[in-house]
């Protein structure tokens, strides 16, 4: 059984929360058996990696149908991104308690599971009932208010000239033939991953197709502008970075995906430490325990994707 792990988080009680996908299941709903399932697991990180609980559902294929991110809310619910049905939802005790469907905002094909048209890859809490969502294929970050829908768009669609960027194979299309597909300006964001909400209308983003990380600030006229960017570390240009986090000590931890490394830099961009990975990494987070440790092994949680899942850029494939 081939398993891929996405976006892990160590919880306050020491367990690990992880999005996952694996195959070989007999419980497949309307799909043929064996099938692939995706969802999340709560894991005891001891030597046996015992799965304590979780939630999953069957998907059409083992490519681009994954739960990329999951967060635990104060309510005890789990907040989940769903790339299969293009939604974010909350679940508790195995039951879906709320959901927002992207088809309420974007043009949608008749069956959203047939193509990776949005690639929703991250969700995070900005305030109670407000969630920041990364819609990669639209070059946009949405703020969704629970019970209301989209209340803010970071990198709004302002011109038809952007649409070529979002028409890349397997992505957005003008399904309702109104001439508009809500494509954000690719000069601002270009197929981003894992935004970190900084508050005060500021966000740090791994801007993958630009091969840099960027901190965007909202201006008085409502547009967003870069306040800080970094496109290399240790003399090596970033290659499709997929995660960046500002740390409490002022440093920034970056997942330099196709260079297969994690690197931490200080405020001037100087490398504090870095580590190579055997497989292509997706995301990393600084562990609460061991922040004062001496080696990178105490500082980073690696999410290693199977090489078959992330092996090329958007210009070459639809991954």
Least confident range from 119-133, 213-227, 261-275: namely 213-227
If one compares 311 and 172, the residue with the highest pLDDT of the two is: 172
Please report, for residues 141, 204, 210, 237, 246, the alpha-carbon distance to residue 201 in angstroms, rounded to integers and kept in the order given: 12, 11, 22, 28, 15
The answer to whether 36 and 22 are in contact (CB under 8 A) is yes
Give the pair of three-digit tokens for residue 94.
């195995």
If one compares 159 and 220, the residue with the highest pLDDT of the two is: 220
- The ranges assigned to domains in the chain are 1-67, 70-191, 193-319
Place of tokens 């398993």: 3
If one compares 208 and 294, the residue with the highest pLDDT of the two is: 208
CATH number of 193-319: 2.120.10.30
pLDDT score recorded for residue 29 = 85
Cα dihedral across residues 116, 121, 126, 128: positive or negative: positive
Percent of the chain with pLDDT over 90: 59
- Model confidence at 313, pLDDT cuts 50, 70, 90, reads low
Least confident range from 160-164, 259-263, 292-296: namely 292-296
If one compares 187 and 301, the residue with the highest pLDDT of the two is: 187
Give the pair of three-digit tokens for residue 295.
């080696």
Surface-to-core class of residue 74, CB atoms within 10 Å of its CB (0-12 exposed, 13-18 middle, 19+ buried): exposed
Provide the CB-side half-sphere exposure for 122 (13 A, CA): 28
- Model confidence at 169, pLDDT cuts 50, 70, 90, reads low
Reported as type and span, the H/E element at residue 303 is strand 300-304
Strand order across the 224-230 sheet = 193-199, 202-207, 212-218, 224-230
């Amino acid at each position: 059984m081939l398993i891929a792990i996405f976006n892990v988080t160590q919880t306050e009680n020491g367990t690990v929360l992880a999005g996952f996908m694996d195959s070989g299941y007999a419980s497949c709903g309307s799909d043929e058996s064996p099938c692939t399932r995706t969802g999340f697991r709560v894991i005891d990180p001891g030597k046996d990696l015992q799965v304590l609980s979780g939630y999953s559902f069957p998907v059409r294929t083992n490519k681009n149908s994954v739960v990329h991110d999951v967060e635990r809310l104060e309510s005890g619910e789990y907040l989940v991104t769903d790339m299969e049905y293009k939604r974010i939802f909350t679940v508790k005790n195995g039951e879906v308690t709320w959901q927002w469907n992207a088809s309420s905002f974007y043009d949608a094909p008749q069956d959203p599971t047939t193509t990776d048209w949005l690639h929703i890859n991250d969700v995070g809490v900005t305030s109670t009932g407000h969630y920041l969502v990364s819609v990669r294929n639209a070059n946009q970050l949405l703020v969704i208010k629970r019970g209301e829908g989209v209340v803010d768009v970071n990198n709004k669609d302002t011109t038809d000239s952007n649409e070529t960027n979002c028409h890349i194979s397997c992505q957005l299309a003008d399904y309702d033939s109104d001439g508009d597909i809500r494509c954000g300006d690719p000069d601002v964001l270009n197929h981003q991953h894992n935004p970190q909400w900084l508050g005060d209308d500021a966000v740090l983003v791994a801007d993958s197709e630009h091969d840099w990380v960027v901190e965007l600030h909202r201006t008085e006229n409502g547009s967003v502008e870069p306040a800080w960017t970094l496109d290399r570390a240790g003399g090596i240009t970033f290659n499709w970075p997929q995660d960046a986090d500002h740390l409490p000590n002022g440093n920034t931890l970056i997942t330099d995906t196709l260079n297969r490394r994690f690197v931490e830099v200080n405020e001037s961009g100087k490398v504090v430490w870095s580590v190579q990975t055997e497989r292509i990494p997706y995301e990393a987070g600084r562990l609460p325990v061991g922040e004062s440790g001496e080696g990178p092994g105490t500082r980073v949680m690696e999410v290693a994707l199977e090489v078959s899942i992330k092996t090329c850029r958007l210009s070459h494939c639809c991954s």
